[in-house]
Structure 1
């Protein structure tokens, strides 16, 4: 009995020690959380008070992020971009929600609208490029064989159209082009393949039309043997806004925005600076991007950007209207204001001029 009593006392003593230790650790944990919260970088006088690393998918074509990085604009605001590897366009939103990446750095309002409709909490924080009538700066070009029989939209009936993916900009703008010309989707066959494979597939007769993004259409034009059927700018113009047809966006998850609002501010500041710099120094920007991507500058095409410093809701609404008109969304189901925020844009709030 004595032994059992002693054992019970020892056991109780050890339990108390463990309990006190647990409470102490919990207290330390709470203090650590507070310290971490206090230690987060703040956006002060146009830059972060502490360097912050943003994870982002590796870039494969012209992008203002390349310029912001290479010109030191991210460094100026205290941001380092850590590239994580190539992420397919259709998986980028999921990679941001999972935390594999922080930045959604390639896509359009349709991408974010689709992601949010699927339950992904992700939001646009700034615009990127927009469309242009210049063949070297256009978003997408629909090409056919130079000696082929497709010379007008009506010639597309019964033909195969290649595009990089379904549910994104290429499909939406293709369907809008068909709609504008009185052709229904069931009159054509859509074939998905990467842009870089489409030129060869077109010339081999595997497809009749290639929907090529800017770098790939520039190379195809240089190689010869192709002709232009239409462009995203012209399709957008037919829908009421040529430049908006190329509107790209940059986004973060709702969780990241809530956790690091000042980092988002700094990111926007650097990105917008790069956009204006490209507009003012386009040829130099093209060379920088070509060197970075290891592409011959003669095959390099770029983008131009809106003069605005913050998001124009009308340009996002343009995409939602296209979605509604082409069966991607039921009218009224997507609330445009839910897709974006200007509240962390330091130009919008007046923190920067």
Structure 2
């Protein structure tokens, strides 16, 4: 599909942000001046859910490093923008959005995978049980609700439509629509939209209620893959190497703890975290948690996590061939997880 066919279909316009973030990377005073490390990680959370950093802190895997919650977000591109411009110290997004951000000049690096796609952790595209929508061509003129544009959900929608034989002009008539994930199921049932993108606990909660059926999923299209990474600025990593290493390694250990621990125990601990942090959230959806979907041991990043999306972005004209190389986008230097044995056997009983 030519990139000019629809501006809303391009992954995030980040040229201006890249220049601004590069300036912030040179001038920011975020932590670590004079050899003293910050010892804290500012981050954004997700309403009603427990992020891997929050789980890692609760398990005692971050050591002396403290998390500082600055608010919630439903958008991966927004989250990594905040990290790139120094509003937070870490942000996570779909790897395609990370490529665009770095390609635009933002001085950030991916340091660990934090979500992926497998048979338990995937995003599905759902319609009402009695919907006439059965295939790609039926989506022309229909609203497809997702958490944000220019990221994972829109990329997979485009792939589905292309594989279904739709032309660029036809694809432009499909309407990706932004809705908060917690409201998407309700909007589908009230027929305000025709397709709802649902993942994780929100997907399983909606399926348990009945009355909806899957159209397709990202697992159907691409199989299992690591989908998103946390990024940190080059400046932060340089000025705060020990803080960064403690954070990344702690998240890696939390990934493995969640993988090796009975689901009921992971869920129970997550519910406790939500209740204890006092953000006026409903933890009910956590009962449907199954997996973070991270395939690589300890969330370690590899070229293959990016190459598919580099090729896709080049084909769409969003980046130029050779503009970015997969190996330059990430670093595993701060991930101290060895992978030989699970660190989950005896998590610290202390809680922050």
Same fold (TM over 0.5): yes
1:200 matched to 2:186? The reply is yes
Q: Distance in 1 between matches of 2:246 and 2:118?
A: 28
Partner of 2:79, secondary structure, is helix
In the alignment, structure 1 residue 151 sits paired with structure 2 residue 134:
yes
Rounded Cα–Cα distance in structure 2 between residues aligned with 1:200 and 1:36? 48
Q: Give the structure 2 partner of residue 72 of structure 1.
A: 60
The 1-side partners of 2:318 and 2:270 are apart by 34
Alignment partners' CA distance in 2, 1:347 and 1:162: 37
Offset of 1:298 from its aligned partner? 3.3
- The aligned counterpart of 1:30 is none
Aligned residues of 1:113 and 1:339 also touching (Cα < 8 A) = yes
Aligned position for 2:201: 215
Q: Which has the higher helix share?
A: 1
Matches within 5 A, 1:170-249: 170-184=153-167, 185-236=171-222, 242-244=223-225, 246-249=226-229
Q: Deviations over 1:95-118 (max 9, x none)?
A: 2233221111x3121222122233
**8 Å contact 1:172–1:323 — kept in the other structure?**
no
Unaligned runs of 5+ in 2: 1-31, 275-281, 344-352
Contact 1:286-1:302 within 8 A present in 2 as well: no
Answer whether contact 2:103 2:319 (CA < 8 A) is retained: no
2:96 corresponding residue in structure 1: 110
Question: What's the CA shift for 1:341?
Answer: 1.4
Distance 1:159 1:98, change over 3 A: closer
Aligned-pair distance for 1:88?
A: 4.8
The CA deviation at 1:148 is: 0.9
3-state SS, counterpart of residue 120 of structure 1: coil
Is 2:40 the partner of 1:53?
yes
Residue 213 of structure 1, CA deviation: 2.7
Please name the residue that 2:268 is paired with.
287
TM-score (norm 1): 0.75
Residues in 1 aligned to 2:258 and 2:273: alpha-carbon distance in whole angstroms = 15
**SS of equivalent residue, structure 2 residue 117:** coil
Measure how far apart 1:91 and its partner are.
2.4
Deviates more, 1:311-320 or 1:289-298: 289-298
Q: Deviations over 1:49-90 (max 9, x none)?
A: xxx121111233343223212211113xx2111111114523
Conservation of the 8 A alpha-carbon contact between 1:141 and 1:214: no
Aligned alpha-carbon RMSD (Å) = 2.5
- Higher mean C-alpha displacement, 277-286 vs 86-95: 86-95
Q: Residue 292 of structure 2 is aligned with which of 261, 286, 303?
A: 303
Distance in 1 of aligned mates of 2:140 and 2:36: 61
Residues matched between the structures, number: 294
Change (3 A) 1:58 1:79: same
Map Cα deviations across residues 243-281 of structure 1 (whole Å, 9 max, x no partner).
Answer: 22x522111111101111222111121111111111111
Q: Which residue of 2 aligns with 1:5?
A: none
- Structure scoring higher RCO (CA < 8 A, sep ≥ 6) equals 2
Q: Following the alignment from structure 1 to structure 2, what is the Cα–Cα distance between the partners of residues 321 and 346?
A: 30
Residue 251 (1) aligns with residue 238 (2): no
In 2 relative to 1, CA 291–231 (structure 1 residues): closer, same or farther, beyond 3 Å?
farther
- Structure 1 residues 88 and 224, CA gap change in structure 2 (3 angstroms): closer
Q: Is the 8 A contact 1:215 1:302 kept in 2?
A: no
Question: Residues of 2 paired with 1:68 and 1:180: CA distance?
Answer: 39
* Structure 1: stretches of 5+ with no match in the other structure: 1-34, 42-51, 237-241
